[in-house]
């Protein structure tokens, strides 16, 4: 299949405290939007409850540029929810998703559109290199993607973030998934369709600071694993079997001591070790189960994923 007709493209940009870079980002995106033949592009900025001047800057941009839409959320909901809000607001034949900090070069979107025209339904950016990121971030990211593939979905590609282009059908399919754990790079694999990657060089942040310090990164990684895998529960069961087998051996040993030795009070070390070990294993297992129970609790409340405070520019839509 090839898509040759003129088409509409929405570019969704989640922004949280990006006042330092947003003007520059808008310029680069505008250049890309203007440079594509037969593509009518709309920029959808999602203000994820920024506490700096991001919203004011976005509003000024929208006032002078009819290509711009703004969805302002009522508070900071987080990157994946901001993306969800952007996808929900989109109407284009294709939707590109890109970070506001220019780490993902906007020019790659033109390549993505070309691949989409050739028939790909999802074109994701593969980070060939990550410039300007610490060895620690690169190392932990590497570990995370490998763990995710082993425990979760083997088809979630490694070194792929949220920088991608989605066909309308894919966006619509993703919007039917009601879950709160919005690990979008997993959900997009789940819905299927034809996926292709384009390699690009991940750049250093153009300005401003990362909104993902280590704690938030870790929590995001755990979300990814727990929402796409029940392997941790399975591991707990295996571990349970293993420990039970060990306990059986311990019981046999205790009987042996009781029946065939006299006088001494042996075994206090074994007792201690057993108690501590079992206590540790049980707490760990409870913790893993708790992760899933907590997620069930979140789903059961079925609150909306985000709250919109203001929408700007959408009245311009034909």
Query: Which residues would be at the binding site for ligand UDP (CB under 6 A)?
Result: 14-16, 18, 48, 76, 78-79, 82, 99-101, 103, 210-212
Of residues 29 and 120, the one with the C-beta less far from ligand UDP: 29
The reply to whether 285 sits near Mg ion by the rule CB under 5 A is no
Q: Report helix, strand or coil for 228.
A: helix
**CB under 5 to 8 A by kind: which of Mg ion, ligand UDP, none does 306 bind?**
none
CB-based contact 82:306 (threshold 8 Å): yes
The reply to whether 103 sits near Mg ion by the rule CB under 5 A is yes
Query: Torsion angle, CA of 93/37/26/214, rounded to 10 degrees?
Result: 60
Residue 110 dihedral angles phi and psi, to the nearest 5°: -60, -40
The reply to whether 48 sits near Mg ion by the rule CB under 5 A is no
Q: Which stretch binds Mg ion (CB under 5 A): 29-37, 96-104, 263-271, 282-290?
A: 96-104
Of residues 90 and 103, the one with the C-beta less far from ligand UDP: 103
**CB under 5 to 8 A by kind: which of Mg ion, ligand UDP, none does 18 bind?**
ligand UDP
Shortest spacing between CB 100 and ligand UDP, in angstroms: 3
Burial class (CB in 10 A: 0-12, 13-18, 19+), 32: buried
168-175 and 184-191 helices, crossing angle to 10° = 110
**CB under 5 to 8 A by kind: which of ligand UDP, Mg ion, none does 16 bind?**
ligand UDP
Residue in 97, 117, 103 with CA at minimum distance from that of residue 200: 103
Q: Report helix, strand or coil for 302.
A: coil
The reply to whether 101 sits near Mg ion by the rule CB under 5 A is yes
Binding site for Mg ion (CB under 5 A): 99, 101, 103
């Amino acid at each position: 299949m090839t898509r040759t007709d003129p088409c509409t493209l929405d570019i969704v940009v989640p922004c949280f405290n990006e006042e330092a870079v947003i003007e520059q980002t808008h310029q680069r995106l505008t250049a890309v939007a203007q440079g594509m033949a037969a593509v009518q592009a709309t920029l959808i900025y999602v203000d994820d409850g920024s506490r700096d001047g991001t919203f004011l800057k976005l509003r000024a941009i929208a006032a002078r540029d009819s290509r711009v839409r703004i969805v302002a959320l009522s508070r900071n909901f987080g990157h994946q929810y901001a993306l969800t809000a952007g996808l929900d607001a989109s109407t284009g034949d294709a939707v590109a998703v890109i970070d506001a900090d220019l780490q993902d070069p906007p020019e790659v979107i033109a390549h993505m559109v070309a691949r989409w025209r050739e028939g790909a339904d999802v074109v994701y950016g593969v980070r060939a290199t990550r410039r300007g990121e610490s060895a620690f971030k690169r190392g932990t990211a590497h570990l995370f993607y490998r763990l995710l593939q082993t425990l979760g979905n083997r088809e979630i590609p490694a070194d792929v973030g949220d920088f991608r282009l989605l066909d309308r059908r894919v966006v619509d399919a993703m919007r039917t998934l009601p879950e709160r754990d919005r690990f979008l790079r997993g959900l997009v694999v789940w819905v299927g369709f034809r996926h292709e990657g384009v390699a690009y060089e991940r750049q250093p942040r153009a300005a401003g600071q990362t909104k993902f310090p280590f704690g938030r990164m870790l929590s995001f990684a755990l979300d990814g694993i727990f929402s796409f895998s029940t392997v941790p529960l399975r591991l707990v069961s295996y571990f349970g079997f293993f420990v039970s087998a060990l306990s059986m051996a311990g019981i046999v040993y205790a009987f042996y001591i009781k029946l065939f030795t006299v006088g001494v009070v042996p075994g206090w070390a074994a007792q201690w070790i057993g108690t501590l070990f079992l206590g540790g294993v049980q707490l760990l297992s409870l913790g893993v189960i708790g992760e899933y129970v907590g997620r069930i609790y979140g789903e059961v409340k079925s609150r909306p994923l985000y709250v919109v405070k203001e929408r700007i520019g959408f009245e311009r839509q034909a």
